[in-house]
């Protein structure tokens, strides 16, 4: 029976937004076109990716001190507690690029880490992946737009050169993530792969000093992430994976939210990462991933 697991999940209890997951064209399919991906039955779960997967740093683990800044407050750790897998492997590492997932060791401030794919056990049933942000260098883009005082405006939205640079960086991210996920799928043809998108920490408006952006550039930066997520969704679908659109799902829960925020902002809590998930955000992302797992 052909497995076409495009799904639409409405997360009204969390955000009132819709989560669109999709995988319509298996990358490593059997000759008759039937997907090889299998239901999850409690087997090995592997968390891969960059700092959005490695965590918030508030509760550091051994992986934190070994250079990857892994935290027990991360969404993979939250998901592990929910799933109780037979084996859990966390390969995530802050600063990782797509190349570090499959082809290139990653340098850290402690020692080089092997490509993450080398740590994935054979026969893994579930992989979650957060990647692409360091490929597109969103941090450098955002830094050009941040203001030092309320009322200031760097007008990134009107900067033609910067907009062209954004398009170039997203195109580079597309190429890099496609290579990485294709390699991972080739090694794990039966695993369910769930890709977590970018952004979400910026709403349609800024809020100095937590999100020091004028409203126009806040909306522009949100659009930058929307373009990036459209690309990442297509990458996930190309290897028969699912995609979690964290930006749309966390609408109203950005760093400016007075209550219930899922993210830290520029004025982050001590011991956490700016512009990353907080404890609540990690918990909610784990819940969203759990809901899309095919059993």
* CA 256 – CA 78 distance, rounded (Å): 24
Q: What is the pLDDT of residues 39-69, one digit of tens each?
A: 999 999 999 999 999 988 888 887 777 788 8
Domain ranges of the chain: 7-292
- Looking at the domain covering 7-292, what would its CATH class be? alpha beta
Tokens of 54: 């490695």
Work out the mean pLDDT of the chain and round it to a whole number: 89
Q: What tens digit of pLDDT does each residue of 120-166 get?
A: 999 999 999 999 999 999 999 999 999 999 999 999 999 999 999 99
Q: Is the pLDDT of residue 221 over 60?
A: yes
Q: What is the pLDDT of residues 236-281, one digit of tens each?
A: 999 999 999 999 999 999 999 999 999 999 998 888 889 999 999 9
Count Cβ atoms below 10 Å from residue 292 Cβ, excluding itself: 16
Indicate the SS3 state at residue 247: helix
Tell me whether strands 192-196 and 126-130 are parallel, antiparallel or unpaired. Answer: parallel
Please give the pLDDT value at position 28.
42
Please state, in angstroms and as integers, the Cα–Cα distance from residue 57 to each residue in 18, 61, 242, 272, 277, following that order: 30, 9, 27, 5, 10
């Amino acid at each position: 029976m052909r497995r076409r697991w495009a799904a639409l999940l409405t997360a009204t209890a969390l955000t009132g937004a819709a989560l669109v997951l999709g995988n319509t064209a298996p990358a490593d399919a059997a000759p008759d076109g039937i997907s090889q991906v299998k239901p999850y039955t409690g087997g090995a779960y592997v968390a891969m990716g960059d700092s959005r997967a490695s965590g918030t740093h508030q509760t550091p683990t051994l992986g934190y001190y070994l250079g990857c800044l892994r935290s027990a407050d991360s969404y993979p750790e939250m998901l592990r507690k929910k799933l109780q897998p037979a084996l859990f492997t966390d390969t995530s590492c802050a600063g990782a690029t797509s190349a570090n997932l499959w082809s290139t060791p990653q340098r850290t401030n402690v020692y080089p880490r092997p490509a993450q794919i080398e740590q994935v056990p054979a026969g893994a049933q579930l992989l979650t992946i957060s990647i692409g942000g360091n490929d597109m260098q969103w941090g450098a883009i955002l830094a050009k737009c941040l203001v030092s005082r309320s009322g200031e405006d760097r007008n990134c939205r009107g900067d033609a050169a910067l907009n062209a640079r954004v398009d170039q960086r997203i195109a580079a991210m597309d190429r890099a993530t496609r290579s990485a996920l294709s390699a991972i799928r080739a090694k794990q043809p039966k695993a369910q792969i769930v890709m977590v998108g970018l952004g979400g920490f910026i709403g349609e408006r800024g809020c100095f000093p937590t999100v020091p952006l004028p409203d126009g550039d806040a909306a522009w930066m949100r659009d930058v992430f929307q373009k990036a997520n459209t690309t990442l969704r297509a990458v996930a679908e190309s290897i028969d994976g699912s995609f979690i659109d964290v930006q749309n799902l966390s609408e109203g829960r950005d760093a400016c939210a007075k209550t219930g925020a899922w993210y830290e902002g520029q004025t982050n809590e001590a011991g956490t990462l700016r512009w990353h998930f907080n404890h609540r955000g990690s918990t909610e992302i784990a819940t969203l991933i759990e809901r899309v797992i095919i059993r």
